[in-house]
Amino acid sequence: MSISRNKYPIKKAFNLWINNCPESFHPLDMERFYVFVKTVCRYSRKPKGSEWLRRKIKQIENKLSEEKIEIYCNKFEMLQEFHKAKVIPIYGINNK
């Protein structure tokens, strides 16, 4: 058994999502979209916005209408903001 490094995880996640019927909004398609967004959040060195996603979608031949592209771009932005949010810690320091 050997370990291989995925040099382009964002590209791989995008292709996995876009090439598997993203127009259906089926839960499995949405899960692939979420994997793509999380991969962007984790591995992108530069911020990626909705215009970046729009250009990327339009570069390939797909079945997404403008309305569906807009929905995905909005979700993309929202999920990135969600990813940036901090959590309330379980433990804290009390000064008594």
Q: Over 90: is that where the pLDDT of 93 sits?
A: no
Q: What does pTM read for this prediction? A: 0.86
Locate the domains of the chain by residue range. Answer: 9-83
67 vs 65: CA distance, rounded Å: 5
pLDDT for res 1: 81
35 vs 20: CA distance, rounded Å: 13
**Is 6 within 8 Å of 12 (Cβ atoms)?**
yes
Residues 3-59 pLDDT 10s: 888 899 999 999 999 999 888 999 999 999 999 999 999 999 999 999 999 999 999
